[in-house]
Structure 1
Amino acid sequence: MSDFRNRPNGNYIFEANWQELYVLTKHWKSDLLFYRDDLKFLDHLIDKYFIWLSKKENIDQVREIEVSLVETDKLCSTLLLQVNKHLSHLAGLMEDPFKYDSHKFRTEHQILEDKLAGFVKTFRDNRKKVFAVTEHVIESEKLEHLIID
């Protein structure tokens, strides 16, 4: 998943010092916290219009995206746990460079980065779908009067 890397290409992970990887990982955590909040917003957006739906087609579309949002939220929570554990290991490595196997740790760092890239791709896809479904539902159910809030 090279379309969302927060680092230079090449061997950066295997050449960067622990502090640089720590800063990069802190950025990942910050991004994940933002995505978690945005997922809550998207879920709220769906919930706001769901109760007004009357067409089965629209109900099915909204349920499908709601399930996808729940799965994405679970993935976000899992990644946050992994990033926090990773930060803890990085802090340990900065204190004692021989605490963990350096090569193994850097490989795990790269795998975690790839998971984050996959998550971001899924998140962005879900976000587009939520807005598309919401727009479709508002138009097809004649719910324009609810947008005033």
Structure 2
Amino acid sequence: MVGGLCFAAGPVWWLLLAGGDGAHYAVGFMPGLVLTGVGAGLYQPVMFSAAGLLPARQLSLGSGVLMMSRQGGSALGVAALVMITGGAARPGLDALRAGWVFTAVTAALAAVGGAAVRTGVRADPGESGGSGTDPLRHH
């Protein structure tokens, strides 16, 4: 959830501070890049560790679903941004702002989704090899 919020904060930063007024890169853009990078760094390890909780017989399937969802999500996001910016090689500031709004909203929705997901998964302390209990079974 925190990762999604940090990722959403980057485009919000750009919406508020990145204008056509010649703001310095270190003030106008870099903080947003840092926020989105921190967001990605916070949510991706959680996804990988969740896949690691699968039983050994389902580990390959879980890893494949995770990778497919990441690649598919990236492709859909790029396609949406191309549509929003009109496919321009050098989109104007208004098109970029629309893309930043889209990115902030989708990242915020991901944070809401992360907050809504509650599982009773607990790692089995007696089991070695990194896999825990079956995530489909709630305690």
Q: Tell me the TM-score normalised to structure 1 length.
A: 0.46
Larger Rg: 1
Relative contact order (C-alpha < 8 Å, sep 6+): which is higher?
A: 1
Q: Which has the higher helix share?
A: 1
Q: Tell me the TM-score normalised to structure 2 length.
A: 0.49
